[in-house]
Structure 1
């Protein structure tokens, strides 16, 4: 009876390992200390990937890796300013030297502008949004692309937004930066899909994360009115975006190139 139970456990573990969507993949995820990036890191590790979790907040991202290790997953944390081109290139080079490959890059790090209109947006805020949300994505993609071209494989998942399609998801800087992310995603596909590199994006709507915590917690912020406009009448959760990211990163999306999957509870359905 004991042997039968042991055999069942071993069999179940074998089946679980065989079904892992990212088994033995090396996945680099930015903005992994909280929100969508954290959800991606935890989910990807549970699906067999070794996760390199990157964030400027090293203590918080180490906690994410501890959670992954406690669940028997693989990964480690790195502190990095994703807007620092030299540091990014050195970091990516070190990761490739250690693992001999990067299979997946998730450009998830991002900042928000609090719905600031153009005349209320100082150049410093504009530059910050563009640097983190768009310029950093460009730097990271360019840092991994030569390696992925050499290997003739790779999956990049960029974090777009419904603000990549229409105004209102953020202020002028946020909307502009997310339009840039979608444009970059499409152009990279045109230029590098022939090398077997899939570049796609996830376009979330209103997702409850630390990035917009103040919006959710501040009385009179308008959050109730915003949620009332969402067909499903609720905000999304980070793990719902992470699951779509997993699909795009995995071989399940082997013929999906240069597109963004909208995760917004039906908001954009009302715009077309």
Structure 2
């Protein structure tokens, strides 16, 4: 297939999990992909996966919590390919687990820096470039916790709610400039983020909360991101689309 033929795309947090799946899917659909991560080894491994499958990609190091790194990433993409058409701002962290009244301040600051500020910084420079291109599509990775609580994770919930609001604001501001912006709200997906933070009993409990009684796969989220990034969703902007196996349906 070639839904993104001749497009130049960017994915943050692309060294593993959903980000890697999105980068691979973008390349499969014909895009040239800038793979970004704070882990050089993981990012380069994603690039190699894409190249092994016949796609085109390169790695650009960026700490999404730093405005200057987001600007440098866009500059590197434009220097290599001359434009930026599609972006998936996926990088995120889980943060500490604690009641809000006991939540460590440094943990709050770090989660907000990566999960909310980082999305704003990315969009800030992507929008600037896409306006020069004459259009583009941004997909921000939110979460089901952009609409429902995640007890013991106040910073994560607040940040993801913020991503949804930011996405809607961008859509309202840039709709007449041929730039679309949407958010995806994954439920619990089997990624290293879950494996690193939850034990087997917790994972099984989460599976049971979804109507489909299972965790999602990164590739299932990537397929939705590809749709929102492509012209197949040309009249869709400002949307927040949940993909959670029915977790929030009840």
Tell me how far apart the structure 1 counterparts of residues 167 and 127 of structure 2 sit (CA, whole Å). Answer: 13
| SS, match of residue 58 in structure 2 | strand
| SS, match of residue 6 in structure 2 | coil
Per the alignment, residue 125 of structure 1 pairs with 107
Task: Tell me whether 1:103 sits opposite 2:85 in the alignment.
Answer: yes
Consecutive unaligned residues of structure 2, counting only runs of 5 or more, are none
Per the alignment, residue 18 of structure 2 pairs with 36
Tell me how far apart the structure 2 counterparts of residues 96 and 169 of structure 1 sit (CA, whole Å). Answer: 41
Per the alignment, residue 239 of structure 2 pairs with 259
Q: Is the 8 A contact 1:160 1:201 kept in 2?
A: yes
Task: Tell me whether 1:45 sits opposite 2:24 in the alignment.
Answer: no
2:50 to 68, 71, 74: 68
Tell me how far apart the structure 2 counterparts of residues 140 and 83 of structure 1 sit (CA, whole Å). Answer: 9
| SS, match of residue 225 in structure 1 | helix
Per the alignment, residue 8 of structure 1 pairs with none
Q: 1:219 to 1:147 in 2, by over 3 A?
A: closer
Q: Give the TM-score normalised by structure 2.
A: 0.96
What does residue range 223-262 of structure 1 map to in structure 2 within 5 Å?
223-262=203-242
Tell me how far apart the structure 2 counterparts of residues 74 and 82 of structure 1 sit (CA, whole Å). Answer: 23
1:214 CA displacement: 3.1
Q: 1:61 to 1:169 in 2, by over 3 A?
A: farther
Structure with larger Rg: 1
Q: Is the 8 A contact 1:112 1:170 kept in 2?
A: no
Q: Does 163-172 or 261-270 show the bigger shift? A: 163-172
Q: Deviations over 1:183-224 (max 9, x none)?
A: 0000011111110100001100111101111345x254x322
Q: Is the 8 A contact 1:161 1:262 kept in 2?
A: yes
Tell me how far apart the structure 2 counterparts of residues 165 and 219 of structure 1 sit (CA, whole Å). Answer: 26
Per the alignment, residue 182 of structure 1 pairs with 164
Q: Does 224-233 or 109-118 show the bigger shift? A: 109-118
| SS, match of residue 249 in structure 2 | helix
Q: Deviations over 1:161-183 (max 9, x none)?
A: 11000102761010000000000
Per the alignment, residue 249 of structure 2 pairs with 269
Task: Tell me whether 1:137 sits opposite 2:122 in the alignment.
Answer: no
Q: Deviations over 1:62-95 (max 9, x none)?
A: 0111111111110011111111212221221232
| SS, match of residue 268 in structure 1 | coil
Per the alignment, residue 195 of structure 1 pairs with 177
Consecutive unaligned residues of structure 1, counting only runs of 5 or more, are 1-18
Per the alignment, residue 3 of structure 2 pairs with 21
What does residue range 57-96 of structure 1 map to in structure 2 within 5 Å?
57-96=39-78
Root-mean-square deviation (CA), in Å? 1.4
